[in-house]
Amino acid sequence: MKTYFERTISAAPLAVFRIGLGFMLLFGIIRFWSKGWIEDLYINPKCYFPFYGFEFVVPLGNYTYILFAVCGISALLFALGLCYRLASISLFLSFTYIELIDKSTYLNHYYFISMICLLMIFLPAHAFFSIDAKLNKNLHSGYVPAWTVDSIKVFVSMLYIFAAIAKINSDWLLHAQPLKIWLIARNDMPVIGFLFNYKWTPYLFSWFGFLYDLTIPFFLWNKKTRLGAYAAVIVFHVFTSLLFPIGMFPYIMIVTALIFFSEDFHLILLSQLNKLFKGQKEFISTSNNYAFKHLNQNIIIILFSLFFFIQLLLPFRYLLYPGQLFWTEEGFRFSWRVMLIEKAGYAEFKVRDAVSGKWVIVNNNEFLTKLQEKMMATQPDMILQYAHLLRDHYAKKGFEKPQVFVDSYVTLNGRLGRVLVDPNTDLAAQVESFNHKSWILSYND
């Protein structure tokens, strides 16, 4: 084992990954900004759904633009490898802060980026082909410990494999849901649209998607199959980006998968870039070794081990809860469950003055955006947060001891809708915790 941690490889893969990730994130921020989503998602809404335990993360109003600017500039510095340590810390913090403001914007690939950025803080991705390395000859190194690159590969592999494990359920494999619903909705696409009118198409796509997720890390890792596997990565992700509104994710994965390529491949890539920018030959041909201080390396390895251990356990935490995961969504997030469920819901809240008995039915549009309402209506923890928000709002409006009840109705993967939350439970009196929410009605299927 000791020899493994002493092994070194070219610093080029890590440098390419740094550049690729940095520019992708910069582009992502610009895209988000230009579509007006900063305003739509983080400034205009009247209320927000922070994550349990992260309630201190509050929206910043118009300063949100500054937050995004910081994030974008950090991504640029990160890509250039200028003030890398500071940039990577600031990139991680600003990006994660944005994602923690409102649950309704949660996407697995945002979480992926947050976690990758966290790892990158500790990795010497600036030791090669960076401005830092140009300015600091002591830093400039052609070789880094092999485990630094491997930890990225392991994390990416975990994402795919957990995504595959999540697909092992009867809805996905036996009923081809939710693809059955989603694909036919795209049957007017040019060239390939007609395919979605066939009954077997969603089954083929479901099984292909499952096998792809399950095997792609191994095929990428293996030198002999790598090129074919990468072609599959491109085809698969381009296909998903054409079919579904999943934004930057496919492109991030296409760039990320380059990390599996050989040292030579990355060196050639960087030497081409070097030529383009008329850099000196020595800039990409140093034989220096990047070495962590012994103690530092041990601490980082311990921290990384802990990180991966937690990452291994998190997707399985749902086993601690009773009931159907897709229904209760207890332990659903942070587990690489991507494109798994078509869920839609309806939640009508009744706020009652416990003293006088008067009550009102809430118009959700008064408090929530369409996205927030859609997300809230199917996710019990958000229903509870919203109920508390209503309780506090109506208490201010003169309701004494306000009680909050919800009339909820949710459909899951094409099943006829049914009631999600016990309509007789006063949600105002329920407390959020990691415990099972007993007021979620059971789902017998």
Partner 1 sequence: MKNTNLLTAKILILSVLIFFSCSKDKDDTGGNTGGGVDRSEMLTFIADDIILPSYAGFKIKMDEMVEKSNDFNANPTSSTLSSFRQAWVDAYTEWQKIELFDVGPAEKHTLRNFFNIYPTTIHTTATINGTNNGIIENIASGNENLNLPINYSAQGFPALDYLLNGIGDSDDAILAEYTTAPDAQAKLAYVKKVVDQMNFKFNQTYNEWTAGYRDQFVSKTSLDIYSSTSLLVNGFVLNYERFIRSGKFANPSGAMSSSPNAYPEDVEAFYKKDLSRTLAITAHQASVDFFNGKSVKTGIEGNSLKTYLNAIEAKDLKSGKPLVDTLNGQFKAIAGAMNTLNPSLETEIRTNNQAMIDVYSKLQTATRMLKVDMTSAMSITITYTDNDGD
In terms of Cα–Cα distance, which of 408, 356, 354 is closest to 386? 408
Local structure of residue 317 (DSSP, 8 states): G
Those residues with Cβ within 8 angstroms of residue 157's Cβ, 6 or more apart along the chain or in another chain: 217, 221
Applying CB under 8 A, among 69, 82, 154, 226 the residue interacting with partner 1 is 226
Smallest gap, in angstroms, from Cβ of residue 426 to partner 1?
Answer: 17
Query: 276 — alpha (psi -120 to 50), left (phi > 0) or beta?
Result: alpha
Beta bridge partner(s), residue 331:
none
What is the helix (H) or strand (E) element at residue 405, kind and residue range?
A: strand 402-412
Considering only residues 26-55, where is the footprint of partner 1 by CB under 8 A? 37, 40-41
Number of residues that bind partner 1 (CB under 8 A): 68
262 binds partner 1 (CB under 8 A): no
Binding piece for partner 1, criterion CB under 8 A, among 279-287, 307-315, 410-418, 429-437: 410-418
C-alpha span between 153 and 123 (Å, rounded)? 13
Nearest residue (CB) to partner 1, 125 versus 176: 176
Smallest gap, in angstroms, from Cβ of residue 81 to partner 1?
Answer: 28
Cβ atoms within 10 Å, residue 274: 17
294 binds partner 1 (CB under 8 A): no
Q: What is the Cα gyration radius of the chain? A: 24
SS3 364: helix
Residue 392: phi, psi to the nearest 5?
Answer: -70, -40
Smallest gap, in angstroms, from Cβ of residue 291 to partner 1?
Answer: 32
Structure tokens at 331: 């332990």
Considering only residues 63-102, where is the footprint of partner 1 by CB under 8 A? none
Considering only residues 153-172, where is the footprint of partner 1 by CB under 8 A? 171
Per-residue x/- marks for partner 1, 112-151, CB under 8 A?
----------------------------------------
C-alpha span between 19 and 78 (Å, rounded)? 7
Nearest residue (CB) to partner 1, 40 versus 150: 40
Tell me the CB-side half-sphere exposure of residue 397, using CA atoms within 13 A.
13
Applying CB under 8 A, among 116, 149, 220, 339 the residue interacting with partner 1 is 339
Binding interface with partner 1 (CB under 8 A): 37, 40-41, 105-109, 171, 175, 177-178, 180-182, 184-188, 195, 197-200, 224-228, 231-232, 235, 244-249, 332-333, 337-346, 357-361, 370-371, 374, 409-411, 413-417, 445
